[in-house]
């Protein structure tokens, strides 16, 4: 970090400065203590002055004695002679001696002085003698300049030393000051540095906290719409369920957009994103109108949830869901234009049978699936039966593999008759499943499950093999139609498989017709057509089943040489009631006729229908009128009867 660099330098600098300061302080202390100690040694000036005074006193007393002859003066003179000698002795030792020794001139003067003074011993022994008195005074006069000089030097030295000491102390004081100022400056600098550092730290902390907050937000919110995401939903749901267990009601809407994928594919992801944002905003606005406690989440893709609590969850739940649907149905304004999407809502509420978190979500999801199956664009509340449905679905799915293995799945056959000759010309093989526990499971139920669980190929292969095998036990001119799914057709080896079955059972390819529905062309139409052509190539016939429903395209008729067209039962059913059905059947039959494709009508139940369809050119018919789907044995019996009798319209009610 930038600040840590300069701080490091600062720290090093400060450490150095402090070390230096400590060292300097230590040095000064020693030196100045030394100087001060020296200063206290000895007061040169004082002793020097005293010496001069004592000499003067001596001179005085000797002179006075000489003048007056009074004994007390003589006594004083003797005393001061001793005193002067003492003074000189004092000078010859200790600190004064050191001072003397500093200059050879001084030593000389001192020695001379001492000699002069000591030399007066005899004179003082004979003090009453005027000659002695004179000698003393003369000698003392000689001694005067010496002692004065020494005294003067002592004084000067004393002053000098004092000055020296003062200078040293001043120096020390100055350095102390410098150190103090320096330390204060350094402290100030450190304080400033700390402020910066603190500022930097606080900034970093703030940045880290902001970053953490942002991450936390990101982790719990969807980037595109800003709504809380799946993770946040999980937690909120757990919370709400917990509250529900102690009596606070909650409700859950699971919202799915209808037809979002096509829009995304058609207009691009940018448009899709915009749409999602608009949807999210609308849901959010709607829910906030109900109560602040309603939370909206985006689970991903085009799936949203709304979590309702308290009064929102106990009253007007259904109304709210429908309001929301109405809101969402209004056009969304995006860059690409105005888009309308529909939505489906699955509702689940607490207070119904529920145990644990996931359950309520699963319930709402089931309701959603059911709503979608019922036609989308609606809101549906979960019912326990939906759960039963799911359970049954799971059971079937689980039972499939075993069923395939155990031969619980096998074909029933429904006869197809020639409309004119009224004879049975072929059969359609229809998958049936008899489960030991669940009983008969209708193909309407298990075929989609087989498709979604990836077992359809096995089932298809099973039925195909069984049908071919059984066909061999029919008359040589009977043909068998078997439904084939898109999953089977997408396999690269489908042609080989069919060939192999034909070879194994020995059925002539021309007797086999494979029925496909238009929905197979949703994916990879070209490839499917190629496969169909290949199948035709080995001699098998191809029928287009349920014509007119779902994704009909007349171009399918153009691209391929179909061997049969089967009109869906819904047209046959309404033949008598609605005129339009007539026209449609007419058109299809005529069209097929011109293309040279024979037409089979499915779901014929009445004689009238039979006649009408025959009149319109349908070649073959299939339906309850001629016979319901039946076991192979029953079929055989029916065919025998058919052969024996030649009734007008064969009607068999054999189960």
State which residue, 14 or 165, has the beta carbon closest to other proteins.
165
Alpha helix segments (H runs only) across 69-103 = 71-91, 94-101
Q: How far apart are CA 456 and CA 462, in angstroms?
A: 10
Q: Are 637 and 617 in contact (CB under 8 A)?
A: no
Q: 130-220 and 44-68 are packed helices; what angle lies between their axes, rounded to 10 degrees?
A: 160
Tokens 């036990």 belong to 473
Q: Are 252 and 287 in contact (CB under 8 A)?
A: no
> Which of 220, 305, 317 is CA-nearest to residue 256?
305
Q: How far apart are CA 339 and CA 201, in angstroms?
A: 51
Q: How far apart are CA 315 and CA 121, in angstroms?
A: 140
Interface positions with other proteins (CB under 8 A)? 40-43, 46, 50, 53-54, 57, 71-72, 74-76, 78-80, 82-83, 85-87, 89-90, 93-97, 124-125
Q: How far apart are CA 559 and CA 520, in angstroms?
A: 14
Nearest-10 Cα torsion for 322, 324, 329, 335: -170
What contacts 64, CB < 8 A, 6 or more positions away? 70, 73
State which residue, 158 or 517, has the beta carbon closest to other proteins.
158
Q: Give kind and range of the element (H or E) at residue 520.
A: none
Burial 54-87 (b: 16+ CB within 10 A, else e): bbbbbbebbbbbbeeeeeebbebbbebbebbbeb
- What three-state secondary structure class fits 398? helix
- DSSP string covering 96-114, please? HHHHHHT-HHHHHHHHHHH
Nearest-10 Cα torsion for 94, 95, 96, 99: 130
Q: How far apart are CA 488 and CA 459, in angstroms?
A: 10
- What three-state secondary structure class fits 369? helix
For CA atoms 454, 455, 461, 463, give the dihedral sign.
negative
Q: How many residues does the chain have?
A: 655
Least distance in angstroms from the C-beta of 184 to other proteins: 33
Instruction: Determine phi and psi for 526, rounding to 5 degrees.
Output: -60, -45
What contacts 493, CB < 8 A, 6 or more positions away? none
Structure tokens at 556: 């399918």
Q: 71-91 and 94-101 are packed helices; what angle lies between their axes, rounded to 10 degrees?
A: 70
């Amino acid at each position: 970090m930038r600040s840590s660099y300069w701080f490091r330098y600062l720290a090093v600098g400060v450490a150095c400065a402090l070390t230096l300061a400590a060292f300097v302080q230590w040095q000064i202390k020693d030196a100045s203590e030394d100087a001060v100690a020296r200063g206290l040694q000895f007061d040169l000036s004082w002793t020097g002055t005293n010496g001069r005074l004592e000499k003067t006193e001596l001179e005085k007393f000797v002179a006075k004695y000489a003048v007056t002859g009074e004994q007390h003066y003589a006594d004083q003179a003797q005393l001061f002679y001793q005193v002067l000698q003492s003074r000189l002795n004092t000078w010859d030792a200790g600190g004064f001696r050191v001072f003397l020794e500093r200059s050879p001139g001084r030593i000389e003067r001192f020695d001379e002085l001492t000699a002069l003074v000591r030399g007066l011993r005899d004179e003082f022994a004979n003090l009453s003698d005027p000659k002695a008195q004179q000698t003393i005074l003369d000698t003392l006069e000689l001694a005067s300049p010496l002692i004065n000089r020494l005294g003067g030097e002592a004084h000067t030295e004393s002053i000098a030393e004092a000055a020296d000491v003062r200078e040293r102390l001043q120096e020390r004081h100055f350095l102390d000051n410098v150190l103090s100022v320096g330390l204060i400056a350094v402290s100030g600098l450190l304080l400033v540095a700390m402020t910066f550092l603190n500022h930097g730290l606080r900034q970093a902390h703030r940045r880290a906290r902001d970053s953490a907050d942002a991450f936390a937000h990101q982790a719990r919110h969807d980037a595109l719409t800003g709504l809380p995401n799946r993770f946040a939903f999980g937690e909120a749901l757990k919370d709400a369920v917990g509250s529900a267990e102690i009596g606070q009601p909650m409700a859950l809407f699971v919202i799915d957009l209808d037809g979002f994928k096509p829009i995304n594919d058609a207009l691009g992801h940018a448009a899709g994103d915009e749409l999602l944002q608009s949807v999210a905003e609308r849901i959010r606005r709607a829910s906030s109108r109900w109560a602040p406690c309603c939370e909206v989440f985006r689970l991903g893709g085009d799936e949203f949830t709304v979590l309702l609590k308290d009064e929102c969850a106990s009253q007007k739940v259904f109304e709210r869901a429908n309001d929301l649907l109405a809101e969402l149905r209004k056009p969304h304004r995006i860059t690409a234009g105005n888009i309308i999407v529909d939505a489906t809502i699955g509702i689940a509420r607490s207070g119904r049978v529920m145990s644990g978190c996931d359950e309520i979500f699963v319930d709402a999801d089931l309701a959603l699936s059911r709503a979608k199956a019922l036609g989308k664009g609606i809101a549906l509340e979960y019912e326990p039966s939906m759960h039963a449905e799911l359970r049954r679905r799971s059971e079937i799915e689980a039972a499939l593999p075993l069923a395939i293995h155990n031969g619980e799945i096998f074909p029933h056959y429904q006869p197809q008759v020639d409309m004119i000759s009224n004879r049975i010309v072929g059969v359609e093989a229809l998958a049936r499943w008899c489960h030991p526990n669940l009983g008969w499971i209708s193909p309407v139920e298990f075929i989609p499950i087989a498709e979604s669980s990836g077992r359809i190929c096995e089932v298809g292969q099973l039925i195909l093999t069984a049908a071919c095998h059984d066909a061999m036990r029919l008359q040589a001119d009977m043909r068998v139609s078997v439904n084939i799914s898109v999953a089977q057709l997408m396999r690269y080896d489908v042609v080989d498989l069919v060939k192999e079955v034909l070879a194994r059972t020995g059925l002539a390819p021309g007797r086999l017709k494979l029925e496909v529905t238009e929905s197979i062309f949703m994916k990879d139409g070209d490839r499917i057509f190629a496969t169909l052509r290949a199948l035709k190539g080995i001699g098998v016939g191809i029928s287009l089943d349920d014509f007119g429903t779902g994704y009909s395209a007349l171009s399918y008729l153009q691209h391929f040489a179909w061997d049969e067209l089967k009109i869906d039962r819904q047209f046959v059913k309404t033949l008598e009631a609605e005129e339009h059905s007539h026209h449609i059947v007419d058109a299809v039959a005529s069209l097929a006729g011109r293309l040279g494709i024979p037409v089979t009508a499915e779901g014929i139940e009445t004689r009238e229908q039979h006649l009408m369809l025959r009149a319109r050119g349908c070649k073959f018919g299939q339906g309850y009128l001629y016979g319901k789907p039946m076991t192979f044995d029953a079929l055989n019996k029916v065919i025998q009867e058919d052969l024996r009798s030649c009734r007008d319209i064969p009607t068999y009610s054999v189960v």
